Amino acid sequence: KSNTTAIDVASLSVILEKNKHYYKEGVVADYIPELGKVNPAAIAFAIVDSNGKLISVGDRDHKFTMQSVSKIIALMLAVMENGEKSVFEKIGYYGTDRPFNHFANLETMGKPLNPMMNAGAILTTSMISGQEDKPFIKILEMIRYITNNPSITYSQAVYQSEKETGHRNRGMFYLIKNTGAITGSEDQLNNYFRQCSIELTTEDLAKIGYFFANECRRYDGDNRYENKSLAKLILSQMLIAGMYEFSGEYARTVGLPSKSGVGGGIVVSVPHCMGIGVFSPALDNHGNSLAGYHMILDLANEYGLSIF
Ligand code: GLN
């Protein structure tokens, strides 16, 4: 591995400045109306290096909703509570050539392709035990723990907006319910909408990336959730489906387990090494942050971070 401790504020700044123009070529998600209100030019770049040191540049205090990045936390809790075998009896390990909100496999095989697409994530969230919003609270508490940031909460406005307009997600929820894999009420779908609406910063994302890169150990060394096998599972899912149908090309060009969200964040894990967080809300046509992708690509190339 290259010496990632050589990455400093100056190196991140250079990469951010070089790539910030990409927001003009992307489109801010507005299918969830509340998401369309963000400043499209906001941008941030953060890493937690192999020593657990946090470095960040740009709009590092800017909060945005984590959206699909929350799917890795829901997967973590579903597996912790139910075991991998029982979770993956109901969800596939498949990669995808389909967008994140596709119904792929629900009709033909009766189960979601993987836990990184909406259908799979709606199901993992429903596997976390507890009444009403308790499963969501567990997800929120886990994110607060990983980031060591108890102030993290969720946006009521984005939550309401998702709930009012998430007709495809509601459709998936009922198709899965029809197979018997989901037995609860729409409270479970609401928990998925809530987890997507959790607001955090790019620095928080870098800490999440570090956690899964390092066998579920926190950046400050706390190891109460240490779990090598679980980290390997989550990194493998991030690699094959974390960027949806772009995952194959992304594995070729960047070569790092990553998870994007339509809020414009991407979390990246450099296995056994460091975490990276990027944010820029303008997306490419797969729903991945465009400037975010280019910042990750430049950092990976410059420091030889690809796992391949
Ligand atoms: N809340 C979004 C949705 O369900 C999350 C999608 C995403 O970030 N790709 O549509």
**What is the structure's pLDDT at 108?**
87
Assess whether 75 and 169 both reside in one domain. Answer: yes
Write the residue with the smallest CA distance to atom 6 of ligand 1: 68
Helices (H), the chain: 9-19, 70-82, 84-88, 118-126, 134-147, 156-165, 167-179, 187-196, 202-213, 228-241, 247-253, 290-303
Position 308 in a domain: no
Say whether 244 is catalytic.
yes
Q: Which of 22, 29, 27 is nearest to 43 (CA)?
A: 22
**Could you give the CA distance from residue 155 to residue 158 in angstroms, rounded to a whole number?**
5
Show which of 181, 196, 211 is a domain's final residue: 196
Position 92 in a domain: yes
pTM above 0.95, yes or no: yes
Assess whether 148 and 212 both reside in one domain. Answer: no
Assess whether 257 and 288 both reside in one domain. Answer: yes
Residue with token string 């926190």: 218
**Could you give the CA distance from residue 73 to residue 194 in angstroms, rounded to a whole number?**
13
Show which of 158, 174, 196 is a domain's final residue: 196
CATH of the domain at 53: 3.40.710.10
69 is in an annotated binding site: no
Has the ipTM of the complex gone over 0.90? Answer: yes
**Could you give the CA distance from residue 286 to residue 232 in angstroms, rounded to a whole number?**
25
Position 148 in a domain: yes
Position 286 in a domain: yes
Assess whether 102 and 157 both reside in one domain. Answer: yes
Q: How far is the CA of 262 from the centre of ligand 1 (A)?
A: 6
Show which of 196, 230, 250 is a domain's final residue: 196
Write the residue with the smallest CA distance to atom 2 of ligand 1: 67
Say whether 185 is catalytic.
no
The tokens describing 249, both together, are 């090309």
**What is the structure's pLDDT at 2?**
58
Assess whether 252 and 181 both reside in one domain. Answer: no
Position 292 in a domain: yes
- CB contact burial 181-218 (16+ within 10 A = b; e otherwise): bbeeeeebbbbbbbbbbbbbbbbbbbbbbbbbbbbbbb
Position 206 in a domain: yes
Say whether 71 is catalytic.
yes
Domain that holds residue 135: 69-196
**What is the structure's pLDDT at 5?**
80
Assess whether 51 and 147 both reside in one domain. Answer: no
Count other Cβ atoms within 10 Å, centred on residue 263: 28
Q: Which atom of ligand 1 is nearest to the CA of 118?
A: 4
- As averages over each run of 10 residues, the pLDDT of the chain (308 residues) reads 81 98 97 96 98 97 98 98 98 95 91 97 98 98 98 98 97 96 97 98 98 98 98 98 98 98 98 98 98 98 97
- Classified as helix, coil or strand, 32 is coil
Position 175 in a domain: yes
Assess whether 189 and 204 both reside in one domain. Answer: no
**What is the structure's pLDDT at 4?**
81
Mutate which of 162, 198, 267 to test ligand 1's pocket (most atoms within 8 Å of Cβ)? 162
Q: Which residue in 23, 154, 210, 244 is the catalytic one?
A: 244
Assess whether 213 and 267 both reside in one domain. Answer: yes
Q: Which residue in 22, 23, 159, 192 is the catalytic one?
A: 192
Q: Which atom of ligand 1 is nearest to the CA of 244?
A: 9
Assess whether 278 and 216 both reside in one domain. Answer: yes
Assess whether 246 and 275 both reside in one domain. Answer: yes
Residues with CB under 6 A from ligand 1: 67-68, 100-101, 118, 162, 169, 196, 261-262, 287
Position 246 in a domain: yes
Q: How many domains does the chain have?
A: 2
Q: How far is the CA of 244 from the centre of ligand 1 (A)?
A: 11
Assess whether 158 and 84 both reside in one domain. Answer: yes
Q: How far is the CA of 223 from the centre of ligand 1 (A)?
A: 30
The tokens describing 124, both together, are 């993992």
Say whether 20 is catalytic.
no
Kindly list the distances between the CA atom of residue 166 and the CA atoms of 23, 107, 116, 174, in Å, as whole numbers in the listed order.
25, 19, 17, 13
Assess whether 74 and 38 both reside in one domain. Answer: no
Q: What are phi and psi of 301, to 5 degrees?
A: -70, -45
